[in-house]
Structure 1
Amino acid sequence: MSPELATGIALTLSGLAAGWLAAYVSHHLPPLALGPRPRRYLIMPVAGALIGMVSAVWAQWQGLPSPWTAVFTALLGWQLLVLAVVDAENFWLPDVLTVPLGISGIIAATVLPYPLGQGWMMALLSALFGFSALWLLAFLYRKLRGRSGLGGGDPILFGMGAAWVGAMDLSIVLLVASLSGLAVVIGLKLAGRNLDMHSKIPFGTYLAIGFAVAWLVV
């Protein structure tokens, strides 16, 4: 068995556990959701396994033979999966889930070769820049509109994810997040959902999508 195939199998099997953990964590958080949270103990492990499989295939396709490339890509995907599900179902991004994303991003930046890894110092500076930029945007919105436009966990997620993709790719993250969120809102409106300017949108879920896209298009 080739090392690439062994890595792919290991990540796929690990993804089953990661997906189950995502469903478990989201379902057992304090009941802050607007409605009942379904138990997704089947679909989430499948999603986790697909992330592991895609990570291995992507690393091979990119010509990055080091197994660490696939491992860290899968790790990023699994963390984003947990965060996306938690925010979508709870409208809440606890620090206990967002901060490890930044720590693992700094480790990845140190271990992986360029351009995926840009060094721990650059990852740390990117994290600080990402948090500061979105926090400032949220602060200005609150001052101008008199209400919060972003959840308190969104700037932290933005900063922690920036440790993975770097400050230069944050514009891609915001673009993908905004477009995906807009697409979902339009779809819900067409489906008859009553949405207005005061409706809650789990922006962290769309930021997770943006970070995944930004990482894969490096």
Structure 2
Amino acid sequence: MPPKYFPNPAESSADGLVAVGGDLAPERLLDAYSHGIFPWPMDDFEPHVWWSPDPRAVLPLDGFRASRRLLRRVRSGQFTTTFDKEFGEVMRACATGPGRAGGTWITPDMIEGYCELHRLGHAHSVEVWQADKLVGGVYGVSVGGLFAAESMFHRERDASKVALFRLVEHLNARGYQLLDVQQWTSHTGSLGVIEIPRSEYLQRLVEVVDLPVTF
């Protein structure tokens, strides 16, 4: 089924631009993620800007690369992990905190829109704690067997990697099939993220968005 609110992402521009405008209402966000599209504000645009880049970066759920140091961190008991306990705090930390991953694009209206999506059960967070202090986390959007990771942060060394490790572990246990991270960087590449053609990503998306998977 084609998108309700957007043009066909397979026919978007070379840089992945699909559309400009619209709001961040839950139905629009879900329509976007279900069709391989996501919002990413730009300084030159006041309206929302929607993208579907080619190639697309994904983290194979059997391909996470955990270093020996990270595994020691996970096993040490230094950090504890929760899910969906402080979604709003994780988003705000990704937007403003040290160690954020591209957090400057997380605008106040995006926080409001995604928090509403969270209240409806479609956006989720992983929180990493040191004692009672929130020191790392990751959040994203879930549609069927897709989890689209949006951003992560850390306030202690390796805390964001622990969050991602626990997210991958959780998604595998729940039966998810596709973990989207949108764009490749040298940092995410070191963790196992790869690039695939947009056409392949969109085909895989069709196969997983209607799976009866719950976070």
Higher strand share: 2
The one of the two structures with greater contact order (alpha-carbon pairs below 8 A, sep at least 6) is: 2
Higher helix share: 1
The alignment's TM-score, normalised by the length of structure 1, stands at 0.29
Larger Rg belongs to? 1
The alignment's TM-score, normalised by the length of structure 2, stands at 0.30
